[in-house]
A and B are shown apart, each in its own frame.
Chain A
Amino acid sequence: MSNEYRLSSGGQINRSESISFKFNGRTFHGYKGDTLASALLANGIHLVGRSFKYHRPRGIFSSGVEEPNALVQIIKDQGKTDPNLRATQIEIYEGLNATSQNCWPSVNFDLGSINNLFSPIIPAGFYYKTFMWPANLWENVYEYFIRRAAGLGKSPTKKDPDNYDHIYYHCEVLIVGAGPAGLVAAKIAANAGKKVLLVDERPNFGGNLNFSNKDYNKINGLTPLEWIKKTCLDLENNKNIKILNRTSVAAYHNYNYLIMVQNLTDHLADKDKNDQIRQRLWKVRAKKVILATGSIERPMIFDCNDRPGIMLSSAVRKYANTYGVKCGNNISFFTNNDDAYETAITLHNKGVKINSIIDIREKSNADLPKKCDELGIKIYWKSAVIYTEGYKKINNIHVMSLSKDNSSVIGNKLKINCDLLCVSGGYTPAVHLFTQSGGKLEYNEKKHYFFPKKNTLYQISIGSCNGTFGLKNIISEAQEKTREFLSIKEVDRLDVLTPKGGDFENIWLLPSNKISGKTKSFVDYQNDSTANDIKLALREGFKSIEHVKRYTTTGMATDQGKIANMHALGIISEITNTKLGELGTTTFRPPYSPITFGALVGRNVGKFFDITRKTPMHDWHEKNNAKFEDVGQWKRAWYYPSDKESMYDAVQRESKAARTSAGILDASTLGKIDIQGSDASEFLNRVYTNAWSKLAIGKCRYGLMLNDDGMVYDDGVTTRLDENHYIMTTTTGGAATVMGKLEDFLQTEWPELKVYLTSVTDHFATISVCGPHSKKILEKVTQSIDYSDDNFPHMSFKHGLIDKIKCRVMRISFTGELSYEINIQANYGQSVWEKCMSVGREYGITPYGTEAMHLLRAEKGFIIVGQETDGTVTPVDLQMDWIVSKKKYDFIGKRSLYRSDTMREDRKQYVGLLTNDPKEILEEGAQIVAEVKSKPPMDMIGHVTSSYYSPNLNKSIALAVVKNGKKLKGKRLYIPMKNKTIEVTVSDTIFLDKEGKRLNA
């Protein structure tokens, strides 16, 4: 077979450029400009897939995004594959390799088609009804089979090799759809000097006008193609407009924010892709939006309307005019309007045999039917197709006359031989984007469609998406509405020739000569739901359209019911005797057509998956074999294993060194806020639970910050640099939210306070040196600071210099050890760190990471906000009553501390735990019980928040929150684990140096 269905001339393909591609393993040829569908049809291939449920043979049905049947899988390489692509949209390129989906072993011989025989016993709701019981079969039996049967196509197993990109774009006028209406609007807008963006999902512009019959449609004396070409050329030369083809609007959000996907390389052969972006996601903010999204042709719903060789009439016209392909040699039509006649005339003029037109209408006196009559094409008026024959390809249609009221078929059955049946049930305006944007629809009872009625955005719909049909009407509406919408005075008149149209008559579900249960009239081709399924759902009591949709799965496939929805609604309305306008539609949700995950993610993969923040000493940590921990977005040095040291061993070594010689920690990630202003002290009084006014200049104080609900929110040390100048430190993870919260309070709650906050987190490198030798090290690192305890006691700070560079040194401690913190401008940080290392070498200085830091502070019982607290813990729960001022008028969260619940005595309270076996280390998060039962459930009275083996105490230590914990000191509790129960004793939270001798050493 080689292009035997290709017409000898015509079409917009390049016949000098032949392209070979593979479909289901066989090699075919097409031409540059073909879609996979047109190239297959040129080779006589209609059967391309199997339906989802019954595995019925299905053929190419349409020519665009609405395609329900021709879903294919593109194979790029082993493991790299794209499922569920529509053959009608895939432009062929050299090397394209596509396969059918949902069939095994092949599309021609599919074992799954046995389902078709069982179709009477697998109706709508089959799964709900069948897999109810016994429940224990769910996990191993039902789920396994349902999962195997579910889904279309196969997911790739390898990493996506392509690049994707995002872009934000702003314009004055966005025009969606470059059919005749869109092109007219674009020209008017661009000529008026507006910044215009024109997008269309297809490679070529012009919409359906592209394949209109040139004898019957003319604009200013030009044929459709000539006019499109000229208009596009004019637009391309206008610098006000940006034009994107192969770009589909996926979502239309409020405030004219639209998401669209531009396909850049899918139509290219691999050798031409050059590692460029495959798809780009556009995030567009438009001042005004003009929707010109066109309309979608409807099928006809009758018995066995799903066979390969049954196609939409407009699609057949497009294949003939755009691709030079005849879809059959002996064609019948089934229609309820005049549009099908244009296709018939087009094909007749190209020498293809049109054997019959079956029209449900009484008669039409319009131009095109008359012409068909003249051409000698047999028209069966007031008739309907009631059945089709042919398993893998249609070969006969059965036709009967319609009764006067169209409720039944009468007379003799006529059998007509054909190899293609073109169906045309009229057009449905594509209102998807309009409704996504919040627009409300109204139903036109006469013309049987929903059309855009009301919208609050700066937006209009023009052309057939607005329910306007006929080239002349479309163009004059586009001109007038665009002119008015953009406040333009005058536009050029266009002289449009278009055939005089006739009426349109609609029957949602065509009558049959069989009883209804014996028919298979498909409504949703992709999900295999029939008119009978819808009737069954209604009989079973589903009334809401949304319920019927979900029960029958009508409109829930990848095509989102572009073809199916109107008929489903129509059938429901007829059966329930409800007006369609009252029934409404299901909700149109984004995306309008499927989007790849790649396009959504863009370049935020690999190293760009998440933001990373690095400290000024990051390179040093890396060079010294640090393992990193993610804290917020920071990369923090976690521990520094030497050679083959395990994490446990490294942390034990680091922790020991910090207490016996000296340790050094990178604390640069802590949030730092510079506070200045005459009300700075009062501000801190309101922010923290303790009092600040009397803190002497040069002193530091620890503060707990609560949320409005009285729960601990953040903590840290704040230093009084001057009378009205403080520097606050926050937790690493809380830095941004604390800053935001404090700004919020300043601006909205306390505007009377004269205080300014400036984040300086990144300005300073913070180097913490602790341990018995820390003082000696600091003395050698900094100049001009007297480190004597009298001059520089615990919880105070000094200005200093390190090689002419100004710095601040705080004597504060999170480890409970003698400890100093150097704060210096970040770019000098690494150099100071290295200096500390070289000076400290003789004292055995050891860098320690966050894990050792956690261990060291746990020995001292210091809390970590977010580890000991979880948003439900008050300072009193933490046994930190001493930090809550009773005298202060107010502070954030004060009122909540006096609620009956927060004052309850049996709340979970902060305690220490010691295991009876000092070698036993508890698991963090483990549940604590007072009484062990033989099996769960047991009353859980708390959980372990921190747990370590302390190398300085030579025993296991843990911190926990336990109900009524304050009163349980010395009591025995239990921690049931999977294989054992661990006995613990409640202890004080401070395990080491309760008197604080080390701090003040």
Chain B
Amino acid sequence: MLNFISPITESHTYNNFSMSEKTPITKINLRGDLENKDFASKAGKILGMILPNEACTTSTKEKITCMWLGPNEWLLVSNDTIDKKSNNHELERLLFKDISKTNLGAVTNVSDHYTIFNLSGSNIFEILSKGSPFDFDSEYFGDNKVVQTILNHVDVTIHRKTKENVDLYVRRSFSDYLWAWIKDSSRFI
């Protein structure tokens, strides 16, 4: 059996800030035109929810969270960890069959493209502000919002679940570097 080896091998706690990797999680990039009713209804039916249409918003169902990344782009993420022994994802198969194969849009598995850091604590945004020009205090960035920005020069997607619980998505190859940087940043809070 193949070993599933994630790039992060530790968890980190400093005072009341802690950080751990969430893995394995199914991540699927979905592209399509919401004004195309076929696409919107097919996606809605498979996901059991309407794709969020407003910038930087998210929708969550029991098993899946859908994050708005652009006017025609969403990231679908499983809420729970999945089996490491197989990468045959039912959701991906269904979406691919009904959306990609029918030329309604694109469905791409990006499960290992991104690594998720789950951050918790009372000072998450103070730490992120050390390397990100985004205004985390903005009235437009409340709970359940998502934003794509940079963190110490690295592209990241930040999903604010609550003020004290945040999922940070970073490309796998950058994860080791960014993990070390956030860890170092947390010393100075």
How many Å lie between the Cα of A619 and that of B185 in the bound state? 25
Interface residues of B in 1-23 (CB under 8 A from A): 1-7, 23
A762-B172 CB under 8 A given contacts A277-B188, A827-B6: yes
For residue B89, give the distance in angstroms from its CB to the closest CB of chain A. 10
Chain B residues near A415 (CB, 8 Å)?
none
For residue B177, give the distance in angstroms from its CB to the closest CB of chain A. 5
Name which residue of chain A comes closest to B109, CB basis. A763
A763-B110 CB under 8 A given contacts A168-B129, A608-B184: yes
Cross-chain contact B5 with A827 (CB below 8 angstroms): yes
**Apart from A678-B103, A756-B31, 19 more pairs, CB < 8 Å:** A163-B188, A167-B129, A168-B132, A603-B130, A603-B185, A608-B152, A608-B180, A614-B177, A634-B173, A677-B106, A756-B106, A758-B108, A760-B110, A803-B2, A806-B88, A825-B111, A825-B112, A827-B5, A831-B5
B100 touches A (CB below 8 Å): yes
Cross-chain contact B103 with A614 (CB below 8 angstroms): no
Kindly supply a per-residue 1/0 record for chain A positions 339-373, scoring 1 wherever the CB is within 8 Å of any chain B CB and 0 otherwise: 00000000000000000000000000000000000
Name which residue of chain A comes closest to B171, CB basis. A762
Cross-chain contact A803 with B110 (CB below 8 angstroms): no
Chain B residues near A825 (CB, 8 Å)?
87, 109, 111-112
Chain A residues near B32 (CB, 8 Å)?
756
Name A residues whose Cβ lies closer than 8 Å to a Cβ of B: 163, 165-170, 195, 276-277, 283, 285, 603-604, 607-608, 611-616, 618-619, 634, 669, 674, 676-678, 722, 724-725, 754, 756, 758-764, 802-806, 825-832, 835
How many Å lie between the Cα of A276 and that of B189 in the bound state? 10
23 A-B interface contacts by CB (under 8 A): A276-B188, A277-B188, A603-B185, A608-B180, A613-B171, A614-B176, A634-B173, A678-B103, A756-B106, A758-B106, A760-B113, A761-B113, A763-B111, A763-B113, A802-B2, A803-B1, A804-B85, A825-B111, A827-B6, A828-B2, A828-B4, A829-B5, A831-B4
For residue A675, give the distance in angstroms from its CB to the closest CB of chain B. 8
Cross-chain contact A725 with B100 (CB below 8 angstroms): yes
B67 touches A (CB below 8 Å): no
- Contact partner of B103 (CB less than 8 A), chosen from A163, A607, A612, A677, is A677
Q: Does more than half of chain B's interface fall in helix, strand or loop, or is it mixed?
A: loop
Kindly supply a per-residue 1/0 record for chain B positions 109-123, scoring 1 wherever the CB is within 8 Å of any chain A CB and 0 otherwise: 111111000000000
How many Å lie between the Cα of A166 and that of B122 in the bound state? 20
How many Å lie between the Cα of A163 and that of B111 in the bound state? 37
Chain B residues near A725 (CB, 8 Å)?
100
- Contact partner of A828 (CB less than 8 A), chosen from B3, B138, B172, is B3
Chain A residues near B54 (CB, 8 Å)?
none
Cross-chain contact B176 with A612 (CB below 8 angstroms): yes
For residue A259, give the distance in angstroms from its CB to the closest CB of chain B. 12
Name which residue of chain B comes closest to A608, CB basis. B181
Residue of B85, B103, B154 with most partner-chain A CB within 10 A: B103
For residue A676, give the distance in angstroms from its CB to the closest CB of chain B. 4
How many Å lie between the Cα of A613 and that of B153 in the bound state? 13
How many Å lie between the Cα of A669 and that of B174 in the bound state? 12
For residue A724, give the distance in angstroms from its CB to the closest CB of chain B. 6
Interface residues of B in 88-138 (CB under 8 A from A): 88, 100-101, 103, 105-114, 129-135, 137-138
How many Å lie between the Cα of A669 and that of B107 in the bound state? 23
How many Å lie between the Cα of A764 and that of B138 in the bound state? 36
How many Å lie between the Cα of A448 and that of B171 in the bound state? 59
Chain B residues near A612 (CB, 8 Å)?
176-177
Cross-chain contact A676 with B107 (CB below 8 angstroms): yes
Chain B residues near A761 (CB, 8 Å)?
113, 171, 173
Cross-chain contact A831 with B3 (CB below 8 angstroms): yes
Chain B interface residue bracket vs A: 35 or more
Cross-chain contact A616 with B172 (CB below 8 angstroms): yes
A760-B108 CB under 8 A given contacts A165-B130, A607-B180: yes
B52 touches A (CB below 8 Å): no
How many Å lie between the Cα of A872 and that of B111 in the bound state? 39
Chain A residues near B152 (CB, 8 Å)?
604, 608, 611
Chain A residues near B137 (CB, 8 Å)?
170, 195
For residue B122, give the distance in angstroms from its CB to the closest CB of chain A. 16
B29 touches A (CB below 8 Å): yes
Cross-chain contact B7 with A756 (CB below 8 angstroms): no
Chain A residues near B134 (CB, 8 Å)?
168
Chain B residues near A608 (CB, 8 Å)?
152, 177, 180-181, 184
For residue B19, give the distance in angstroms from its CB to the closest CB of chain A. 17
How many Å lie between the Cα of A846 and that of B174 in the bound state? 28
Residue of A604, A607, A608 with most partner-chain B CB within 10 A: A608
How many Å lie between the Cα of A832 and that of B87 in the bound state? 14
Cross-chain contact B103 with A166 (CB below 8 angstroms): no
Residue of B5, B110, B129 with most partner-chain A CB within 10 A: B5
A759-B129 CB under 8 A given contacts A612-B176, A612-B177: no
Residue of B23, B114, B171, B177 with most partner-chain A CB within 10 A: B177
How many Å lie between the Cα of A832 and that of B3 in the bound state? 8
- Contact partner of A166 (CB less than 8 A), chosen from B5, B114, B131, B184, is B131
Chain A residues near B177 (CB, 8 Å)?
608, 611-614
Residue of B101, B105, B106, B110 with most partner-chain A CB within 10 A: B106
Chain A residues near B135 (CB, 8 Å)?
170, 285
Cross-chain contact B108 with A676 (CB below 8 angstroms): yes
For residue B27, give the distance in angstroms from its CB to the closest CB of chain A. 9
Chain A residues near B180 (CB, 8 Å)?
607-608
How many Å lie between the Cα of A612 and that of B85 in the bound state? 30
For residue B148, give the distance in angstroms from its CB to the closest CB of chain A. 13
How many Å lie between the Cα of A678 and that of B31 in the bound state? 13
Chain B residues near A669 (CB, 8 Å)?
173
Cross-chain contact B100 with A615 (CB below 8 angstroms): no
Cross-chain contact B108 with A674 (CB below 8 angstroms): yes
How many Å lie between the Cα of A763 and that of B28 in the bound state? 11
For residue A602, give the distance in angstroms from its CB to the closest CB of chain B. 8
Chain A residues near B4 (CB, 8 Å)?
827-828, 831
How many Å lie between the Cα of A612 and that of B178 in the bound state? 9
Residue of B174, B180, B181, B188 with most partner-chain A CB within 10 A: B188
How many Å lie between the Cα of A445 and that of B98 in the bound state? 78
How many Å lie between the Cα of A613 and that of B152 in the bound state? 14
For residue A16, give the distance in angstroms from its CB to the closest CB of chain B. 33
For residue B107, give the distance in angstroms from its CB to the closest CB of chain A. 7
Chain A residues near B181 (CB, 8 Å)?
603, 608
For residue B62, give the distance in angstroms from its CB to the closest CB of chain A. 25
Chain A residues near B184 (CB, 8 Å)?
603, 608
- Contact partner of B31 (CB less than 8 A), chosen from A722, A758, A829, is A758
Chain B residues near A806 (CB, 8 Å)?
87-88
Chain B residues near A195 (CB, 8 Å)?
137
Chain B residues near A754 (CB, 8 Å)?
103
For residue B166, give the distance in angstroms from its CB to the closest CB of chain A. 16
Chain B residues near A165 (CB, 8 Å)?
130, 188
Cross-chain contact B3 with A676 (CB below 8 angstroms): no
Kindly supply a per-residue 1/0 record for chain B positions 131-160, scoring 1 wherever the CB is within 8 Å of any chain A CB and 0 otherwise: 111110110000000000000111000000
A724-B176 CB under 8 A given contacts A762-B113, A762-B114, A806-B88: no
A756-B105 CB under 8 A given contacts A168-B133, A608-B152, A763-B110: yes
Cross-chain contact A835 with B2 (CB below 8 angstroms): yes
How many Å lie between the Cα of A169 and that of B134 in the bound state? 9
How many Å lie between the Cα of A604 and that of B32 in the bound state? 39
Chain B residues near A803 (CB, 8 Å)?
1-2
Cross-chain contact A826 with B188 (CB below 8 angstroms): no
How many Å lie between the Cα of A761 and that of B108 in the bound state? 12
Kindly supply a per-residue 1/0 record for chain B positions 29-73, scoring 1 wherever the CB is within 8 Å of any chain A CB and 0 otherwise: 101100000000000000000000000000000000000000010
How many Å lie between the Cα of A615 and that of B7 in the bound state? 9
Cross-chain contact B130 with A832 (CB below 8 angstroms): no
- Contact partner of B86 (CB less than 8 A), chosen from A619, A634, A724, A805, is A805
Cross-chain contact B113 with A759 (CB below 8 angstroms): yes
Cross-chain contact B133 with A826 (CB below 8 angstroms): no
How many Å lie between the Cα of A803 and that of B86 in the bound state? 9
Name which residue of chain B comes closest to A165, CB basis. B188
Cross-chain contact B31 with A826 (CB below 8 angstroms): no
